[in-house]
Every structure is written in C-alpha cells, then in structure tokens.
Amino acid sequence: MLQVEGLTKKFGGFTAVDAVSFSVPQGEILGLLGPNGSGKSTTFNCIAGMLKPTAGSVRLAGEEIAGLTADESCRRGIGRTFQIPRPFRGLSLLENAMLAAHFGAGGHIDKPEAERRARDALRLAQLPDDPQATAHGLGAAGLKKLELARALATQPKLLLADESLGGLDTGEMRQAAEMLKRIRDERGITIVWVEHIMGVLLSVVDRVVVLDHGAVIFKGTPAEAQDDPKVAEVYLGPPETRAA
Ligand SMILES: Nc1ncnc2c1ncn2[C@@H]1O[C@H](COP(=O)(O)OP(=O)(O)OP(=O)(O)O)[C@@H](O)[C@H]1O
C-alpha cells in the first residue's frame, strides 16, 4: 500500500530525514518509533504532503505522491490525525466529521453522503453521532477520538496516526490502541502509527520501524524490537549508563 524509498528531508544544511526506506503492505499496522528529534514527524509530514521531500519517493498503491500538497494527498487516500486536536468547537461532532468528509471527497459528494460517511466514522471512533453532541466537555481521550473520526470520514486507504497516545492515562492508551486495531481489522485500513513511546503500541502493531538521527536503525516485529540492542540503546542509553 505504501512504499517509501530513499526519503530525505533537509532543512538548510541539516538532514532531518536521511534516505529512509520502508514499505507497508495493505492492512498492516506499522509503528514508526524513535526518540525525540529522530525524524518521525518530518517523515510523517513528507508522506502526508505537509512537507515537500528533498529527495526520494513515496508511493501510495503504486502511485507517486511525493511532493503533492496535503489536500491532494488526502484526496488520493491519505487520512491523518494531528498530535494536538483542533476541532471546530462551535460545531457539533457530526458537523466536524461532515466537513472532513467533504474535504476528503474534494467537495464532490452531496450532503446526505457526507452525513453518511460522518456518522459511520463517528461510530467507528465510538463517539455519539446525534446532531446535538458537541466537542465541548470532551477530555483528551474524546478529542483524540474526534481526531480519528475526522480522519476516517475522509475514507482513507492509509491512516497516518500522529502520537495518538499523548496526554492519555494508561487505561485510555490501551483503549486508543485497541481502537486502531479494530479499525484495521474491520475495515482493512492500512495504518502508520507514529509515537515516541513504545509501551502499548508494541501490543497491537504488526511491525516496527525505528528511527534515530533521521535514519532507520531497526525494522522488524515488536518482539524483535524489544530484544534489539540498538533499539534499547536509543531508548535507554548505552548499557553502562543504565540502572541495574
Ligand atoms: N522546520 C524545521 N526547520 C529546521 N529543523 C527542523 C524543522 N522541523 C524539524 N526539524 C529538526 O529535525 C529533526 C527531526 O525532527 P522531528 O520533529 O521530525 O523529530 P521527531 O522524531 O518527530 O521528534 P518528536 O518525538 O519530539 O516529535 C529535529 O532535530 C528537529 O529540530
């Protein structure tokens, strides 16, 4: 579904993402991990069209999408959530999701179809779809669900989930992880999930790519990641500095 090859992003003379390559088959959940500043968001933003790569290729279902704008990427089938949810607080949850549905369809759907897509997305994210429900009073977990519903309402082939666990307590993190897994299981949506913490993510992803200083240092299963000395080093520091 997604093939990233030699993806490179430079900011002036600084290389934030350095020839990163990985692929994600249809229906897989890939965890993109790495410590702060390792290049996860920059990689993510190059795939989602928020940043133009300096070099490399990004293919979605075989089509080159590197360098497209965020709007074009969304219309090609990339849905994304944002780390910091910014819903339209004056609108109902349903209206928020309907706007996303219109956006994803490039304005080419009528109101009943946008409403159908919006209700379906809200139900998938376990939010109320009645027209009275608003974003007022939604806590961190509710706002993350709304973020997910808005991305799902664009009917993505590939869902890019950005730090979906930030600000959640342990129970909410587990529920958020289970929700992504259920969405993949029920709809077959391919997911790339970016987090800087490993924890609960490892229990639901199929494979993991770990970045450090902009480069891929590990690709493999969650179990292999937990046993990998390079992964331990970037997360925990060199062995001699770790507590016994
Ligand atoms: N617009 C920019 N201009 C210059 N440098 C940038 C820019 N965006 C990111 N960087 C730098 O690129 C590097 C990678 O940043 P990035 O945000 O991709 O890392 P990250 O792994 O997502 O980190 P975090 O987990 O903290 O979000 C960092 O050194 C960062 O300071």
Residue nearest to atom 11 of ligand 1 (CA): 16
CB 168 within 8 A of CB 83: no
Q: Quick one: average pLDDT of 90-94?
A: 88
Token output for 225? 């990641």
Residue nearest to atom 24 of ligand 1 (CA): 36
Look at residue 144 and tell me whether its pLDDT is greater than 60.
yes
CB 152 within 8 A of CB 77: no
Q: Quick one: average pLDDT of 66-73?
A: 89
* Centroid of ligand 1 to alpha carbon of 16 (angstroms): 7
* Centroid of ligand 1 to alpha carbon of 39 (angstroms): 6
Considering only CA atoms, give the Rg of the chain.
Answer: 18
Ligand 1 atom closest to the Cα of residue 38 is 21
* Centroid of ligand 1 to alpha carbon of 41 (angstroms): 7
Question: Which residues have C-beta atoms less than 6 Å from ligand 1?
Answer: 11, 14, 16, 34, 36-42, 196
CB 56 within 8 A of CB 47: no
The pLDDT, as a whole number, for residue 116 is 95
Range of 34-38, 108-112, 209-213 with top mean pLDDT: 209-213
The pLDDT, as a whole number, for residue 243 is 58
Task: Specify the higher pLDDT residue, 164 or 11.
Answer: 11
Q: What is the DSSP string of 135-156?
A: STT--HHHHHHHHHHHHHTT--
How many other C-beta atoms are found inside a 10 Å radius of the C-beta of residue 197?
Answer: 14
* Centroid of ligand 1 to alpha carbon of 45 (angstroms): 11
pLDDT band at residue 242 using 50, 70 and 90 as cut-offs: low
Q: 25 Cβ partners below 8 Å, 6+ apart?
A: 1, 190
Residue 130 in 3-state DSSP? coil
Look at residue 84 and tell me whether its pLDDT is greater than 60.
yes
CB 217 within 8 A of CB 210: yes
How many other C-beta atoms are found inside a 10 Å radius of the C-beta of residue 234?
Answer: 18
The pLDDT, as a whole number, for residue 241 is 65
> For residue range 183-208, what is the model confidence (pLDDT) as tens digits?
999 999 999 999 877 788 888 999 99
Residue to mutate (ligand 1; options 40, 83, 213, 216; most atoms within 8 A of CB): 40
Angle formed by the axes of helices 111-124 and 93-104, to 10°?
110
* Centroid of ligand 1 to alpha carbon of 23 (angstroms): 22
ipTM over 0.85: yes
The pLDDT, as a whole number, for residue 53 is 96
* Centroid of ligand 1 to alpha carbon of 17 (angstroms): 9
The pLDDT, as a whole number, for residue 65 is 92
Which CATH fold topology does 1-77+156-244 show? Rossmann fold (3.40.50)
Among residues of the chain, what percentage have pLDDT more than 90? Answer: 62
Look at residue 216 and tell me whether its pLDDT is greater than 90.
yes
Residue 13 in 3-state DSSP? coil
Numbered ranges of CATH 3.40.50.300 in the chain: 1-77+156-244
Least confident of 34-38, 139-143, 198-202, 207-211: 198-202
